[in-house]
Structure 1
Amino acid sequence: MKRWLWTAVMAASMMCGTAVAAPADGVDGTAAQIVTLAGDHRLVVLGEYHGTAETPLLVADLMERYSRDNVPVRLGLELPMSENVALARYLRSNGDAAARQALRTSPFWRVKNDQHDGRRSRDMLALIEALRALRAQGRDVGVAGYDVETGSAGGSDIRDAAMATHLRQQFNALPAPARMLVLTGNVHAMRSPPSDAPPEFQRPMSAYLLDLPLYSVRLEALRGHFWACISPCRALKLADQPPREPIVSTDADRSYDVVVWMPSLSVGTLTDR
């Protein structure tokens, strides 16, 4: 792992008073694949399995790569927009104990025990710290949430439409050279609805943004586990796969522009013990 990223991860682990294990091999290789495949697309949407340790490391790696040569890069996280003031304040801070504590005092980060859906973890906090470290080095990076508020009324289609509206506003506010990365659940990242979608689910989030320079990436893994809240919240195992190359699609009704396989995924660490 890159020295700057490992330093940032270790610093972020102090937010919760625990060490962070070294990541699985292959994060660098997957990041390089995505940069090559996405090319000049300025809106790169990453569809993940929530609640892993490796995906936040991958996103931090991508942010470092894309922000080289003083190129502005913004990261959209599937967090409520009410978190944006705290996120911006943390990126401007020195990352000390008071700043770390202030970042995770909102109700979103204070979910107890196992009742979370994987978007809130020490690994996600480490990603935010990695961005603060990049900014402290002079990189033009930022982060913002684009989700609706937790507990908002409405079904999944209403939520996806609202998230797309928020992302469109954030993307349109960027200067022309800037790039935006978006980390989201793998269904939200789809360009077209899944075949088994219920009738009331009209379009996933990315399907509302196809007029933008969007490139949709499905993040898969050859083996491992992720965290899901499927009665009850628990770790779920991925089916083992042989080594695979990325699958690129250009079909008009494609679900994703590309599917890439990370070597392995492991469950992230809860923010609350």
Structure 2
Amino acid sequence: MSRWMRFGCTLLISLLLANRALADESIAAQIREHAGAHRLLVLGEMHGTREIPRLVQQIVESYARQGIPSQLALELPTSENDALRTYLQSTGDTAARSALRGTKYWTVESHLHDGRRSHDMLDMIEALRVLRESGNDIQVYGIDHVPLPAESAPPGTRDAAMASELRERYNALPANARLLVLIGNVHGMRSQPSMITYPPMASLLVDLDQYNVRIEARTGEFWGCRGYRRCGSQPIPPFLGASPRTDKGSDRSYDLWVWLPRFTVARLLD
């Protein structure tokens, strides 16, 4: 390949990435606009993408630019919160990052990898650490209470525990703060779907000032699990409809649906 052809390819890739970043920023702005003054923003995701952590980062950055304190709740075990707090208060150097990703949560066998543990998630946490270091009021913590032993816990135990944790965090929010929740899209539903026999997390919090957003993509793939030891790259069915889409039905699962241009598989830690 000639030098000019290589230059042309590099330029084309750069333009495509820039256009995708602009599209993501536009969707972040749409979410902010529709969420308005709601203080609890539930973001239902597909695990294991590069794009969703970047989108969440953009939303938090937009709140920071307006001087609005933000708390980001993640689908991480609450046992990780001491390590997260320590990292957010660090300089983000190599030792600090190694300490954060060296905990038990971030180390998992490949056949059980559900997509939540990625360099993209760690990069998002680092970006929020930098925002916090610049003087913004930002917190990041896990809300997942994994029942032990998980296999003997009644259905819905985990969702009920996460809802209880979130309610406590919400009740302690400063008056002008926002609580963002990045959670798997079933946990984030306002109503109970037929596929499960228990109320999902968000449905237990509808009495709060809650706004629910489902994050999808028009094409691409993500990393997720469709059963025990059945984790891998999953394709996205093509979507050509309008985005965003709102729903006001009393039995709605989400208030807002948005579609990013594309999902790509996250850079998994293993």
| TM-score, scaled relative to structure 1 | 0.87
Judge conservation of contact 1:75–1:180 (CA < 8 Å) in 2.
Answer: yes
Same amino acid, percent of matched pairs: 50
Alignment of 1:266 onto 2:264 = yes
Query: Kindly tell me: are residues 152 and 88 of structure 1, through their superposed partners in 2, closer, same or farther at Cα, counting changes over 3 Å?
Result: farther
Aligned match for 1:129, one of 126, 130, 135: 126
Q: Could you say what secondary structure the match of 1:128 adopts? A: helix
Tell me the distance in 1 between the aligned counterparts of 2:101 and 2:28: 28
Judge conservation of contact 1:222–1:241 (CA < 8 Å) in 2.
Answer: yes
Paired residues in the alignment total: 249
Aligned match for 1:51, one of 48, 53, 63: 48
- Structure 2 gap segments, 5+ residues each: 1-16
Q: Could you say what secondary structure the match of 1:234 adopts? A: strand
- Structure 1 gap segments, 5+ residues each: 1-21
Judge conservation of contact 2:191–2:251 (CA < 8 Å) in 1.
Answer: yes
Alignment of 1:227 onto 2:248 = no
Partner of 1:256: 254
RMSD of Structure 2 on Structure 1 (CA): 1.6
Tell me the distance in 2 between the aligned counterparts of 1:169 and 1:179: 14
Shift of 1:59: 0.4
Tell me the distance in 2 between the aligned counterparts of 1:264 and 1:82: 33
| TM-score, scaled relative to structure 2 | 0.88
Q: Could you say what secondary structure the match of 1:269 adopts? A: coil
Partner of 1:74: 71
Tell me the distance in 2 between the aligned counterparts of 1:115 and 1:209: 30
Partner of 1:165: 164
Aligned match for 2:116, one of 119, 138, 142: 119
What pairs up with 1:110-259 in 2 under 5 angstroms?
A: 110-149=107-146, 152-153=149-150, 154-197=153-196, 201-231=197-227, 232-242=230-240, 244-259=242-257
Q: Could you say what secondary structure the match of 1:195 adopts? A: coil
Shift of 1:171: 1.3
Which string of whole-angstrom CA distances, capped at 9 and with x for unpartnered residues, describes residues 33-85 of structure 1? Answer: 10011111010000000000000000000010012232210000000000001
Judge conservation of contact 2:155–2:198 (CA < 8 Å) in 1.
Answer: no
Letter in 1 for 2:30: Q
Shift of 1:237: 0.4
Tell me the distance in 1 between the aligned counterparts of 2:187 and 2:49: 17
